[in-house]
Amino acid sequence: MADQFPEKGFALTEGSKSVTAMLRFFDASLRRVTEYMSSIGTVWFFLLVILICAEVIARELFLAPIRGVTEMVAYSVVGATILQLANTLYSDRMTRADFLLSIFGEKFPAGKAVLEVVVSMLGLLALCLLAQAAWPKLVDAYISGEIVGVPGEFSFQVWPLRMLVIIGSAVTAAAFLARSVRTAAQVGFNHGVRGWIGLGITITALLILWFTAFPVVMDAGLSNFAIGALMLALLILVVLFGIHIGVAMLLIGFVGLWLLKGRIALSYTMLGLAGNEFLANYYFSAVPLFVLMGLLVAAANIGRETFAVASWLTKPIRGGLGIATVGANAIFAAITGSSVASATVFAKIATPEMIRHGYNKQFSVGVVAGSSVLGMLIPPSLLLIVYGFLAEQSVGFLFIAAIVPGIILALAMSAMIWINATFFPHRVFELETHKEPELNAVTDIAQAAFLLVPILGLISLVLGGIYGGLFTPTEGGAVGSAGALVYALARGKLGRARLWHVLVETGQIATTVLFLILAANIFTIMLASSGFVQNISITINSLNLNLIQFAVFYVLLLVVLGMFLESVSIMLIVVPIALPAVLALGGDPIWFGILTVIAVEIGLLTPPFGLACYVVATTLKDMGIALTDIFKGVLPFVFVMFFVTALIIMFPVLASITYQ
């Protein structure tokens, strides 16, 4: 879809030219407004690092904690997130699964354009509902003079932050409106009158369907369970057709509550709570902090130095560069917690190096994409933070429990590479007579130790502080970000332009995740209200499945969902449904969290979605590497992940070590 209003197509009259010019001006102006708003939210995410670090220092060194910081951070995250939401839409970062829509668009381009208009109009509706539901909360906070924090020390009124939610929602609604108008113009200009007729028929049909089907369902006397099941099926259907996942969960949760209670008032109440209260949790500020730390680490070239050391250490081993990539990814994961960051960094560093030394392209890109999944398992992990919230489990315990599975997975990947390089060299090298080259990046142990000092220091700072009880995981994200920033600045790796790019990237990634969590809240409330979760647990118990059988079925389900949806979305939808059943079967929620993350991460490598593969393909687009080569290259890593998953299912103790 074009970013601007089309200039070619029909011969334009003077009037239509004026309208087009006005629409372009509105779209461009709105885009600038969203960039300014996003800048405010971005700067605030950065200020959180300073505020939290100041509180940690005051508390630990001077025994004088800054009271009220926790509340200030928690409530401000809501406003900072919603302020940046419109910019994520303009930047095409708002999460959606458009694989089926792309296939449909290849055969029916006019139909795809029409569906894009519908997608944007549904986004407009969702954000208008969010703004409307947030209004009473703003009025109440203003009239009552609601205050959070510690009066007399560090406190503030809540209503300005409530106002940010409404402003951000309204501007995002306007961005969806501009997107729908822009796409509708494309329909007409690219497909003529028939395109506009098709658009009109589609919108009319959807309106008729709503005004006929909704009353029928309302009066049908469906059980609460049936309504919950219907809404879940509808969610999966609309997500597969390209509707933004957060928008879909928000709208369907809203409609589901309306059907369950027979009146719309409760839906507005719960949506208002989700938009204003749910993210106002100190827990969620860990998301932007860990994202920022990962991006700062990448900007500081720590990934390149890690790979250099790993290459030197594995030089005598057959397939050493591939094993070095796995090892570097494992170390890098311990300070970033992001598979996407790992895939981006090592696609640029490791792939050209391996190809230059005789490895075939398919293996080279496969090892980068395949080992990048370590970023979401080895702590600190963003997915483990999300799971900890959903399951109400200690993030610290989850981090500890993930260490052994992470090491096992890295070793299993390395063993697979060595076996292939030794016994099936044609799978790894361009020539079977290939010999490992001498790499000159690192020459001795002293140089290797020097390069590893900042890496190990940052790992010790973050994980040591968390496990040692000096600070919480959220505070660990802030301290780690500060440490990475100081290191990058000291090395001269971070100028003003690059720092700003890192901050903007942090805001967009964090906002995408937090909006998904916000929208999933109302959908989860709807499912819980329907009794769907409880009935599923009862049904599973009636099947007399044991824990291992259920775990196998669950892993396969997550892998299938991972072919179409991204990791956080899958967890937000599935974990609230599956966790009660696991607990009823006697499963350990910590073990279940590790199992969930590994299974979900398999989806990062499997077509058609395969996010890690797409990241590598995008990063290496100038090298002429086909996406199919990447998917073929990661197949051995998918098998390794299934093997490790089976180990964890058979031996739960491997993923249950928390040293409690």
The pLDDT tens digits of the residues spanning 54-74 come to: 988 998 888 888 887 888 888
Q: 154: helix, coil or strand?
A: strand
pLDDT given at position 5: 54
Ramachandran angles phi, psi of 149, nearest 5°: 105, -160
Query: Does a structural domain hold residue 561?
Result: yes
In three-state secondary structure terms, 156 is strand
Higher pLDDT, 414 or 491: 414
Same domain, 426 and 408: yes
Query: What range does the domain containing 105 cover?
Result: 14-279
Would you place residue 4 in the very low, low, confident or very high pLDDT band (cuts 50, 70, 90)?
low
- Mind listing the pLDDT tens digit for each residue in 391-400? 888 888 898 8
Q: Which of 143-147, 162-166, 279-283, 385-389 has the lowest mean pLDDT?
A: 279-283
Q: Between residues 356 and 1, which one has the greater pLDDT?
A: 356
Residue 157 has phi, psi (to 5 degrees) of -80, 150
For residue 502, tell me if it sits in a domain. Answer: yes
Same domain, 317 and 234: no
Are 173 and 242 part of one and the same domain? yes
Based on the domain organization, do 477 and 495 belong to the same domain? yes
Domain match, 266 and 288 both: no
Overall number of domains in the chain:
2
Helices 302-313 and 320-336: crossing angle in degrees, nearest 10, is: 140
List of residues 6+ apart from 145 with CB closer than 8 A: 157
Q: Are residues 306 and 271 both part of a single domain?
A: no
* CB-based burial label for 467 (10 Å; 0-12, 13-18, 19+): middle
Whether the pLDDT of residue 266 is over 80: the answer is yes
Higher pLDDT, 45 or 454: 45
- Asked if the structure places residue 192 within a domain, the reply is yes
Position 165 confidence tier, pLDDT thresholds 50, 70, 90: very high
**Which domain-ending residue is among 279, 311, 345?**
279
What share of the chain in percent tops pLDDT 70? 91
Q: Tell me the C-alpha distance between 619 and 16, whole Å.
A: 41
Please check the confidence at residue 308 and state whether its pLDDT lies above 60: yes
Whether pLDDT at 337 is above 70: no
Of 645 and 355, the one with more pLDDT = 645
What per-residue confidence (pLDDT) applies to 440? 47
Residue 91 has pLDDT above 70, yes or no: yes
Both 275 and 176 in one domain: the answer is yes
In a domain, 3, yes or no: no
Same domain, 593 and 624: yes
Same domain, 463 and 505: yes
CB neighbours (10 Å) of residue 426?
Answer: 11
In angstroms, the CA 486 to CA 432 distance is 46
Q: What is the pLDDT of residue 570?
A: 82
Are 515 and 246 a contacting pair, CB within 8 Å? yes
pLDDT interval class at 438 (50, 70, 90): very low
> Residues of the chain with pLDDT > 90: what percent?
26
Same domain, 372 and 270: no
Q: Is residue 274 included in any domain, yes or no? A: yes
pLDDT at residue 660, as a whole number: 56
Structural domain contains residue 8: no
5 occurs within a structural domain: no
Q: Which of 51, 31, 54, 55 is nearest to 43 (CA)?
A: 51
Which of 122-126, 442-446, 486-490 is modeled with the greatest confidence?
122-126
Q: Is residue 660 in some structural domain?
A: no
Q: Which of these three, 240, 255, 279, is where a domain ends?
A: 279
Is the pTM above the cut of 0.75?
Answer: yes
The confidence score (pLDDT) of residue 126 equals 94
Q: Which helix (H) or strand (E) holds 208?
A: helix 159-219
Where is the domain boundary, 225, 245, 279? 279
Are residues 21 and 148 both part of a single domain? yes
What is the overall mean pLDDT for the chain?
A: 84
Same domain, 396 and 373: yes
Question: By the 8 A CB rule, do 259 and 227 touch?
Answer: yes
